[in-house]
């Protein structure tokens, strides 16, 4: 994949996004010293979802549905995309500027970006411009990126997820938003698109590394004026240090040869989060932590030989939450929760047909001041198994069929199950 022009990561369920994993030519135009490239995709899927009935207890952070069964025509893990990129060589620098637009096919309220889904008359989808950056560098010393782009932590996990071209877990299927979940929250934490200044080394015999300063993210709270309310969650929205992400990787082999190819990688993320100064006195009086540091690491290995490819990935963190960064990372008193998970995946390609199996989990531990009581509906584990079939109708068009079984379990032993069947296709240009 050409990471400069073909990184097409999308958001769904109001927060998710993911990238394109196959190299495509795009549409190239030369204008003076600049080479201009347009690329993108369009996809659509028919999805049928069955849920446990509404008598099942709702699980906080659970990713399996309850209530009525549903059908939809929707985007998969990728939304549609139109990515514009311009490159040039000036004064011994390679320069690139990229802007990506990501529309969905499903309606949102008033066409708002990542707005609430609304499959009703006289509605329209939103357009999400979440890829906006430029780079400068040289093959001799590396590349500096400035702007908004995919993060480093868990990037490879989502790029190697086979459901990237399909659907995976179909979140919000009765009223779908721009994308499904794939394996987000069920094998990895979503890497997200974030404002950043990142340096990436050149490749040294297959070894490379990246280090970035990122816009720190909020951990939103609620009922801020009443920390004794049972529904209270502390908020941490003050930041005086950046979020730090870093990664190292080693890749080997030539994908065009018949030999063994692969990659191993390791990433870290860390951020200090603080309560706004207006809340410090309130939190202190209630015995609530006024700040904490959320840190995580992940790693994986991908190996391919002939038509076979396998991926093994895992992550662990404290105070980073589950599904997305800083979602459910602390208890009501601000004590941090640990989280971990991962997935295993195997695919085999027979000429134009690729078949795959994937299983993943995401666990969220209780904080030290929490207990697994009958009333604790906090998610303990989200897990899913996926069977996928991907057929290359042409070099641009892929037809997809998936069966996905998802289960959410709470700390009070409540559980919900969801089964999805998806049929559709995606075209890249």
pLDDT tens-digit series, residues 22-36:
344 567 888 889 999
Cα–Cα distances in angstroms (integers) from residue 413 to residues 64, 145, 351, in the given order: 14, 46, 45
Greatest mean pLDDT among 120-134, 213-227, 252-266, 323-337: 323-337
pLDDT by residue (tens digit) across 293-334? 999 999 999 999 999 999 999 999 999 999 999 999 999 999
Reported as type and span, the H/E element at residue 111 is none
- 404 pLDDT above the threshold of 70: yes
In angstroms, the CA 183 to CA 358 distance is: 9
In angstroms, the CA 298 to CA 267 distance is: 5
Write down the pLDDT at residue 27. 78
pLDDT by residue (tens digit) across 312-323? 999 999 999 999
Confidence of residue 415 (pLDDT cuts 50, 70, 90): very high
In angstroms, the CA 366 to CA 378 distance is: 9
Confidence of residue 270 (pLDDT cuts 50, 70, 90): very high
């Amino acid at each position: 994949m050409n990471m400069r022009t073909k990184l097409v990561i999308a958001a769904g369920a109001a927060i998710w996004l993911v990238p394109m994993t196959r190299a495509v030519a795009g549409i190239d135009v030369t204008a003076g010293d600049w080479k201009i490239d347009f690329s993108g995709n369009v996809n659509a899927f028919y999805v049928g979802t069955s849920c446990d009935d509404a008598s099942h207890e709702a699980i906080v952070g659970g990713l399996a549905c309850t209530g009525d069964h549903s059908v939809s025509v929707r985007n998969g893990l990728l939304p549609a995309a139109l990515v514009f990129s311009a490159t040039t060589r000036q004064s011994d620098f390679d320069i690139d500027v990229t802007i990506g637009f990501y529309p969905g096919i499903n309606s949102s309220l008033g066409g708002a970006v990542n707005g609430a889904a609304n499959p009703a008359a006289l509605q329209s989808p939103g357009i999400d411009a979440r890829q906006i950056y430029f780079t400068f560098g040289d093959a001799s010393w590396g590349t500096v990126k400035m702007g908004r782009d995919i993060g480093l932590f868990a990037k490879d996990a989502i790029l190697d997820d086979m459901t990237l071209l399909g659907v995976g877990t179909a979140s919000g299927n009765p009223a779908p938003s721009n994308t499904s979940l794939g394996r987000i929250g069920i094998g990895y934490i979503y890497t997200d698109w974030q404002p950043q200044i990142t340096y990436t080394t050149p490749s040294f015999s297959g070894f490379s590394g990246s280090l970035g300063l990122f816009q720190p993210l909020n951990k939103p709270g609620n009922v801020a004026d009443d920390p004794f309310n049972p529904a209270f969650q502390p908020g941490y929205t003050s930041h005086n240090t950046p979020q730090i992400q870093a990664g190292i990787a080693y890749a080997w082999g030539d994908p065009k040869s018949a030999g063994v190819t692969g990659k191993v990688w390791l990433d870290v993320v860390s951020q200090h989060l603080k309560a706004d100064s207006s809340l410090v006195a309130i939190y202190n009086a209630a015995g609530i932590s006024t700040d904490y540091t959320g840190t995580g690491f992940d790693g994986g290995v991908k190996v391919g030989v002939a038509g076979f490819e396998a991926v093994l990935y895992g992550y662990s963190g404290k105070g980073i939450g589950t599904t997305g960064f800083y979602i459910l990372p602390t208890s009501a008193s601000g004590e941090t929760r640990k989280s971990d998970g991962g997935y295993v995946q195997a695919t085999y390609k027979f000429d134009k047909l690729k078949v795959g199996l994937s299983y993943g989990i995401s666990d969220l531990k209780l904080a030290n001041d929490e207990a697994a009581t009958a009333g604790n509906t906090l998610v303990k584990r989200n897990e899913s198994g996926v069977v996928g079939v991907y057929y290359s109708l042409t070099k641009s068009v892929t037809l997809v069929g998936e069966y996905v079984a998802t289960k959410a379990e709470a700390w009070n032993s409540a559980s919900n199950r969801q089964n999805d069947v998806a049929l559709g296709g995606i075209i890249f240009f």
